[in-house]
Amino acid sequence: MSGIRITGVSKRFGGLKVLENVDLEIRQGELLALLGPSGSGKTTLLRIIAGLESPDCGTVTLEGMEVTDRDVNDRNVGFVFQHYALFRHMTAFENIAFGLRVRPRKIRPSGEQIRERVMELLKLIGLEQYALHYPAQLSGGQRQRVALARVLAVQPRTLLLDEPFGALDAKVRKELRRWLRRLHDQIHLTSVFVTHDQDEALEVADRVAIMNEGRIEQVGTPDEIYHCPESPYVLQFLGDVNLFYGRAGEEGKVVVSPSGEGAGTRAREDGRLEKIYVRPQHLDVQTEPYEDGGFKGTITHINSAGPYVKVELASQWGDPVQVYLTQSRFSELGIRKGMEVFMHPRETTAFPAGVQ
Q: Where on the chain is the footprint of other proteins (CB under 8 A)?
A: 50, 52, 72-73, 77-79, 81, 83, 85, 87-89, 98-99, 102-103, 125-127, 134-142, 150-151, 153-154, 169, 172, 175-176, 178-179, 182, 185-186
Nearest CB to other proteins, comparing residues 136 and 305? 136
> How many other CB atoms sit within 10 Å of the CB of residue 57?
12
Q: How far is the CB of 204 from other proteins (least distance, A)?
A: 14
Nearest CB to other proteins, comparing residues 175 and 199? 175
Q: How far is the CB of 139 from other proteins (least distance, A)?
A: 4
234 phi/psi in degrees, rounded to 5 = -60, -45
- In the chain, DSSP assigns E strands to 2-13, 16-27, 31-35, 57-62, 65-66, 77-80, 158-162, 190-195, 207-212, 215-220, 242-248, 253-256, 262-266, 274-278, 283-286, 295-303, 308-315, 320-326, 340-345, 349-352
One-letter identity of residue 80: V
Q: Which residues have a Cβ under 8 Å from the Cβ of 156 and sit 6 or more positions away?
A: 76, 77, 78, 189
Half-sphere exposure of 172 (CA within 13 A, CB side): 13
Q: How far is the CB of 137 from other proteins (least distance, A)?
A: 7
Q: How far is the CB of 33 from other proteins (least distance, A)?
A: 20
The separation between the first and the last C-alpha atoms of the chain, rounded to the nearest angstrom, is 34
- Long-range contacts, 209-212 (Cβ 8 Å, 24+): 209/24, 209/32, 209/33, 209/34, 209/35, 210/35, 210/36, 210/234, 210/237, 210/238, 211/34, 211/35, 211/36, 211/40, 211/41, 211/42, 211/45, 212/36, 212/37, 212/40, 212/237
Nearest CB to other proteins, comparing residues 176 and 248? 176
Q: How far is the CB of 102 from other proteins (least distance, A)?
A: 4
Nearest CB to other proteins, comparing residues 26 and 159? 159
Q: How far is the CB of 154 from other proteins (least distance, A)?
A: 6
Q: How far is the CB of 233 from other proteins (least distance, A)?
A: 31
